[in-house]
Structure 1
Amino acid sequence: MSKPPRRRAAAPPLALTLLLPFALLLALVGPQAAAAAPGPTAGPAGVPTTSAPSPPRVPAPTTHRPVGTTSVHLVDASRHDPWRPDAATRELMVTFWYPALSSRGARAPYMSAELSTALFGGPELAAVRTGAAAGATPAPGRHPLIVLSPGFGYSRTSLTALAEDLAARGYAVAALDHTYETAVQFPDGRVEACLICSRVDERLGTEVTLSRARDIRFLLDRLTAPGPGPVRGLRIDPSRIGAAGHSLGGASAVEAMREDSRVRAAANLDGDFFAPLPADGLAGPVLLLSARRSSDAHDAAADWEEAWKHLTGWKRWLDLPEGGHLSFCDMPWLLDAFGVRDQIPPETAHEQYGSLSGERALAASRTYLGAFFDRHLLGRPSPELNRPSANHPEVRFVK
């Protein structure tokens, strides 16, 4: 979850903690984004010119390979929506990133103005530019797949920087929006709000984890079924599938691997384990990447210590002692790109972002997530996972 109740003994209500970073971001970046938005200014002899600063861009991937992207609306007719009893089906939105034949074409929008307004209260995040070509033709061949699940209350767009980097490495990436757990916009323009954000507790955390695992299984059913898949020309290698997620999305990725043998490896980015792991152990490879859990005096470290006992396969626990809970999504580099991090109240800044810059947090997340899947899906040597690296002094090897 964005910040589960058990992560701090005296935490404020979770709904407030969840929405606070959104409200702060918009309150801070609104004037900045307006100033940065390109627009005409008076040039010589009254000729308009666009001299305003460019809007923020998603940091470029670490590998120079064309990346394409598209979004798809999927409907699971086999089950009722768990959060809306009157809905006879489960509707989902998925964004795909993938190796492309060419980088030509218009860059995909980060999100629409309508979705930015629904999530943040204003259209400013629609100005952010991505590096992926909208609707580009996928590169030929079968691609290993990584499914991404965002933090509770957060859009799938919050994992864009990680997704673009993984796609540039050669993976097909599918990020899910879990409907009614965040604001979701569908192709017909309607925006469905989060229906359960105001009533989060530990019991609901377990229910959400299990529901998300079912969403992932449905997506894999669609992607591995015979015949054309949801994205024209994109072919998936069903023998090389991984899952990862931030916060509750990370715990859901591990749960999906527990339930579905098609998921060969799972990574949890600072998510509490609401659903208990099997008593006899989980044998698949698991990467745990946390922020300050190695020295946390509260239940956050204890939660992972308990989960660690039930991980019986390859496992690694890495920690960012100077990071925060949101260090593994797009929020830190967005704050830095808009130049407003120093305006966040200190308590919130420490809890959610720590003192680590967005650039360094993203670099660490990209390096270790990529190395993990390279090792366990592609069989490539990944020395970064064996010992501390001078290139990433901000990362501590816990176990």
Structure 2
Amino acid sequence: MNTTSNRKRRIGAVAILGLAASVAAAGTGIAATTPPSTVHATAVTAAAAPQPRSFQGALPAPTGPFAAGEDVIHLTDASRPDPWVPSSGPRQLTVTMVYPAVPGTGTPAPYMTLGEGAGIVQRQHLPASSGVTPQTLAGVTTHAFDGARPQRGKYPLVVLSPAYENPRMVLTSLATDLASHGYVVALVGHTYEDSGETLANGQTPPCMICDAPASLDFDAVAAGRALDESFVIDQLTHGNTAWPLAHLIDKHEIGTAGHSLGGAAAAATMIADPRVRAGVNMDGSFHPDPTPGQITRPFLMLGTTANTDWEHAWAALGGYKKWLTVAGADHFSFSDLDLLHEQAGFPTPPLSPERGVAITREYVTAFFDRTLKGIHSPLLDGPSPNNPEVNFQH
């Protein structure tokens, strides 16, 4: 795969369950709506009329000692208009806060709102026969709990940014696991950049930048996401008014991670905001590549073996850095998407979706443990017999 096609591939993954409309009415096939260079879909012929599918999604339970509490907050940046729809007024963001909680407290949190689920179904033209409905999407088991009692103490903050077209909740399995290991996580929904984020007024506006990716300036999108992330950090660390549990955050230990375009946003945030001490790019092209001296704090690159456009970024990174590839993974392996694909009965890559989630959780947590908590993990020292799929590139 050449650099140009690979860069396009990792601009972003289409929203959850990237399934083509051809799952649909005639029941003649399954195909993903991602560009042909990324998709792992295959045509499946059916001799008879399709039976309605049954979809009951469930994310894996967190692996740490704490439960995962969850709050959804709504923030408004009065200092700037929305970059995509200026007429809508100041930039509005919906953010899911996931935090270390006391087991057995709170009530199960929905995966998303019905409005967000409807946005996915509408954008992907998913038929009722797929079994993927707003209700079944909202009902995916998350192992996060609304109103859960927080653990005592202060914890590092990790800001997460999803892929282009992907709503924030597709990084929930990573967020809940980080919280279970003692992190406060802010899952940022970038309004008008995905299938829909439900705002404070209850509306769920659609994507305004998804229909013409070829003409989109992704450097500008990544820079805008960096502004979103820094604003969220401001709101969570100044005055403790944006979120009632902001006292849990250690404002001196902040990291950022993202998938695909969200990975580019993580790098852009590190360049723009010196408060962010460590960053992770999960299978995303950089927009633009950093230049020497711009990122001198710890950085992890975790991606597929198809990466061909990270060499320049790698050379420019200073300080502690790791570049890991995962054999058999595809672009969706680093989010919830492949797992939900599998549970809905659709094709998945050679790497099992469960392994993709487990590897992502283990290595991202180990990286932040080392860089934000000062806890050494041998997982980052070199190849592990427990994770034979993970290769150290440098």
TM-score (norm 2): 0.84
Q: Please name the residue that 2:281 is paired with.
A: 268
Q: Any residues of structure 2 matched to 1:281-296 within 5 Å, and which?
A: 281-293=294-306
Q: How much has 1:202 moved relative to structure 2? A: 7.0
- State the Cα distance separating 1:19 from its structure 2 match: 6.1
- Structure 1 pair 127–21 and aligned structure 2 pair: CA distance change class (3 A): closer
Percent identity, please: 39
Inter-partner Cα distance in structure 2 for 1:146 and 1:5? 30
Residue aligning to 2:381: 386
Match of 1:80 in 2: 81
What is the rounded CA distance, in whole Å, between the counterparts of 2:240 and 2:186 in structure 1?
Answer: 18
Deviations for 1:7-36, whole angstroms, at most 9, x for unmatched residues? 349x79x89x7369523498579x888635
Task: Summarize the Cα distance change of 1:63–1:20 in structure 2 as closer, same or farther, 3 Å threshold.
Answer: closer
2:236/2:246 contact within 8 Å kept: no
Equivalent residue, structure 2, for 1:35: 54
2:34 aligns with none
Note the residue ranges of structure 1 that are not aligned, 5 or more in a row.
Answer: 37-54, 294-299, 342-352
1:220 to 233, 244, 265: 233
Amino acid at match of 2:304: A
The answer for the alignment partner of 1:70 in structure 2 is 71
Alignment RMSD (CA, Å): 2.6
State the Cα deviation string for residues 74-93 of structure 1 (Å, max 9, x = none).
Answer: 00000011111213300000
Contact 2:270 2:279 in 1 (8 A): yes
Q: Secondary structure at the match of 1:275?
A: coil
The letter for the 2-side match of 1:206 is D
1:126 counterpart residue number: 138
C-alpha distance in structure 2 between counterparts of 1:77 and 1:32, whole Å: 50
Structure 1 pair 74/56, CA: closer, same or farther in 2 (3 Å)?
same
Task: Give the match for residue 251 of structure 1.
Answer: 264
Q: Relative to structure 1, is the Cα distance of residues 104 and 235 closer, same or farther in structure 2, using a 3 angstrom cutoff?
A: closer
Worse-matched range after superposition: 222-231 or 311-320: 222-231
The superposition leaves residues 101-121 of structure 1 with CA deviations (integer Å, 9 ceiling, x where unpaired) of 343232000112321121133
Partner Cα distance (2:185, 2:15) in 1: 27
Kept after mapping to 1: 8 A contact 2:69/2:106? no
**Which range is displaced more, 389-398 or 109-118?**
109-118
In the TM superposition, 1:133-148 aligns within 5 A as: 133-148=145-160
- Taking structure 1 as reference, are residues 125 and 33 closer, same or farther at Cα in structure 2, changes over 3 Å only? farther
* Matched residue SS, 1:79: strand
Q: 1:250 to 1:32 in 2, by over 3 A?
A: farther
Measured after TM superposition, the shift of residue 64 of structure 1 is 3.4
Residue identity in the other structure for 1:357: S
CA contact (8 A) 2:209 2:216 kept: no
CA distance in 2, matches of 1:287, 1:72: 28
Instruction: Give the aligned partner of residue 350 of structure 1.
Output: none
Match of 1:297 in 2: none
For residues 298 and 51 of structure 2, what CA distance do their matches in structure 1 show? 43
Instruction: Give the Å deviation of 1:233.
Output: 5.9
How high is the TM-score relative to the length of structure 1? 0.83
Residue 377 of structure 1 and its aligned partner are, at CA, apart by 0.2
Q: Which residue of the partner structure matches residue 14 of structure 2?
A: 18
Number of the residue aligned with 2:201:
188
Question: How many aligned residue pairs are there?
Answer: 356
What is the aligned partner in structure 2 of residue 345 from structure 1? none
Given the alignment, which residue of 316, 325, 329 partners 1:319? 325
Using a 3 Å threshold, how does the CA distance of structure 1 residues 355 and 138 change in structure 2: closer, same or farther? same
Deviation at 1:392, TM superposition (A): 0.7
Paired residues for 1:107-186 under 5 Å: 107-121=108-122, 122-123=133-134, 124-182=136-194, 183-186=196-199
Change (3 A) 1:155 1:7: same
The 8 Å contact of residues 102 and 149 in structure 2, kept in 1 or not, is answered as: yes
Amino acid at match of 1:191: T
Give the SS at the match of 2:301: strand
State whether residues 156 and 372 of structure 2, in contact with CA within 8 Å, keep that contact through their aligned partners in structure 1: yes
Kept in 2, the 8 Å contact 1:5–1:201? The answer is no
**Does 2:100 match 1:99?**
yes
**Contact 2:240-2:247 at 8 Å conserved across structures:** no
Gaps of 5+ in 2: 25-29, 32-49, 123-132
- Closer, same or farther in 2 for the Cα pair 1:5/1:279, shift >3 Å? closer
Any conservation in 1 of the 2:230–2:273 contact (CA below 8 Å)? yes
Q: Give the corresponding residue for 1:41.
A: none
The CA distance in 2 between the partners of 1:20 and 1:334, in whole Å, is 8
In 1: Cα distance, 2:290 partner to 2:311 partner = 12
| In structure 1, distance between residues paired with 2:103 and 2:62 | 15
Q: Which moved more, 1:94-103 or 1:370-379?
A: 94-103
**Structure-1 separation of matches of 2:319 and 2:57:** 41
Counterpart-to-counterpart distance in 2, 1:267 and 1:364: 14
1:375 to 341, 345, 370: 370
Distance in 1 between the 2:246 and 2:294 partners? Answer: 38
Give yes or no for contact 2:107–2:148 (8 Å, CA) kept in 1: no
| Preserved CA contact (<8 Å) 1:103 1:132 | no
Equivalent residue number for residue 6 of structure 1: 4
Paired with 2:349 and 2:141, the residues of 1 have a C-alpha distance of 25
State which of 362, 377, 397 in structure 1 corresponds to 2:392.
397
Cα contact 1:99–1:171 (8 A) shared by 2 = yes
Q: 1:6 to 1:19 in 2, by over 3 A?
A: farther
Between the aligned partners of 1:231 and 1:253, the Cα distance in structure 2 is 25
For the 8 Å contact 2:59–2:173, the answer to whether it is kept is: yes
Distance in structure 1 (CA, Å) of the matches to 2:16 and 2:176: 27
Structure 1 residue 198, shift from structure 2 partner:
1.1
CA distance in structure 2 between the aligned counterparts of 1:335 and 1:32, rounded to whole angstroms: 18
The 3 A distance-change label for structure 1 pair 229 and 32 is farther
Higher helix share: 1
Deviation at 1:214, TM superposition (A): 0.4
